[in-house]
Amino acid sequence: MNSIVIGRYIPGNSWIHRLDPRTKIILTFVYIMILLFANSWGTYLVATIFLAGVIYLTKQPLNLYWQGIKPILWLILFTVILQIFFTDGQPVLWQWRFIKVTLPGLINAIYVVIRFVLIILMSTIMTLTTPPTSIASALESLLGPLKKLKVPVAELALMLSIALRFVPLLMDETQKIMNAQKSRGMSFSTGGPIKRAKAVVPLLVPLFVGALQRALDLANAMEVRGFKDADHRTRYRILAYHRADYISGLMMVLFIIVFSLINLKGW
């Protein structure tokens, strides 16, 4: 639990850390959208090289990115199994009744793994290098035009910021509860699936009570400090684009051009 990096921010002074949070959100969204159009080895190779360069610029240990992938390994495995055994095509490499393994199925399975890994890594980069409060401020700025449609953008940004901050806190709280119950003789790694599922139940009640208590404490703290309307809050840090943001945008444009050319050529 304490190794999950979703929602965690690791302080640093790298190129990626210094980018405006709006730039990181936009570039992450564009990268993921472009990746959905990848359909050849060449496009995935270019996307992987681009992401490897971004990871290098973060100056973060590589094991952090592996920790970001581990929580979704089961989802990747499940998707790969579906692609391998239930994709039609020729030639058929192996078949048993209605289950068969085809060459297109194997290729699609590899594509799915690469796509999942690249998407998770890019999302992990954004959360590792951007504080939750900055992400919320950036989203509020990007969604600002929706205020004309009476959309509560400020409240939504505040909710997102609190949610991102609470994810690592709840993970740490879960680990503390598990350690406390292990010291009393509880085992979470022995027995069959049913026994392990029953062992998780005692975690839910204290975790749920603790989450409610944190929410009440946060609400009381906000009320004591005079928080009433998120729309009229002032900002200590004003977001502004700098030279690094424009250079990063230019690099993304070059990546899109190269990606599109390779995609059109079918390489």
What is the C-alpha to C-alpha distance for residues 182 and 177, in angstroms, rounded to an integer?
A: 9
Looking at every residue in the chain, the average pLDDT score rounds to 82
Residue 205 counted as domain residue: yes
Write down the pTM of the prediction.
0.76
Is the pLDDT at 1 greater than 60? The verdict is: no
pLDDT > 60? residue 4? no
Give the count of domains, the chain. Answer: 2
Q: What is the pLDDT of residues 42-80, one digit of tens each?
A: 999 999 999 999 999 998 888 888 877 777 788 888 888
- pLDDT tens-digit profile of 197-216? 777 777 888 888 888 888 88
User: Is residue 204 located within the same domain as residue 81?
Assistant: no
The dihedrals phi and psi of 20, each to the nearest 5 degrees, come to -65, 135
More confident residue, 51 or 230: 51
Q: By percentage, how much of the chain surpasses pLDDT 70?
A: 92
| Domain identity same for 126 and 254 | yes
For the residues 138-165, what does the mean pLDDT come to?
80
- Domain ranges, residue 28: 1-130+238-267
